[in-house]
């Protein structure tokens, strides 16, 4: 799953199919597993309300970049550098 393939509504376009991430369980990378190896996405927010600059490339986050809020982790699909960034709160 590439960050650039996730739109601002939380829909992942794989090229073959569209998956609404808000109705799917997402696999959590092994290095940050907290409780489960997959979590439901609860809701999404506009990322720049919480994070002003991309942690990777330091660009200001555009309005169409979202932050997905899962059960115990957050996922930032950073389109600016096409990275999936995971955060544990
Ligand atoms: Zn970036």
CA distance 62 to 56: 14
Taking CA atoms, 67 is separated from 16, 31, 62, in Å, by: 24, 20, 12
What's the 60 CA to ligand 1 centre distance in angstroms?
8
- Domain ranges for the chain: 3-88
What's the 7 CA to ligand 1 centre distance in angstroms?
16
**Selection from 26, 15, 36, 30 nearest residue 77 by Cα:** 26
**Selection from 62, 59, 57, 27 nearest residue 41 by Cα:** 27
**Selection from 76, 78, 80, 79 nearest residue 32 by Cα:** 76
What's the 57 CA to ligand 1 centre distance in angstroms?
4
List pLDDT tens digits, range 2-60: 999 999 999 999 889 999 999 999 999 988 877 889 999 999 999 999 999 999 999 99
Over 80: is that where the pLDDT of 64 sits? yes
Q: How many helices (H) and strands (E) does the chain have?
A: 0, 7
Residue 77's pLDDT is 97
Query: What is the pTM for the complete model shown?
Result: 0.90
Residue 34's pLDDT is 75
């Amino acid at each position: 799953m590439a960050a650039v393939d996730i739109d601002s509504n939380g829909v992942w376009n794989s090229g073959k199919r569209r998956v609404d991430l808000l109705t799917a369980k997402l696999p959590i990378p092994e290095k940050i597993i907290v409780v489960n190896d997959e979590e439901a996405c609860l809701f999404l927010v506009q990322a720049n309300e919480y994070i002003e600059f991309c942690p990777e490339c330091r660009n200001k986050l555009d309005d169409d970049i979202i932050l997905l809020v899962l059960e115990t982790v957050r996922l930032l699909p950073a389109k600016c550098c096409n990275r999936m960034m995971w955060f544990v709160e």
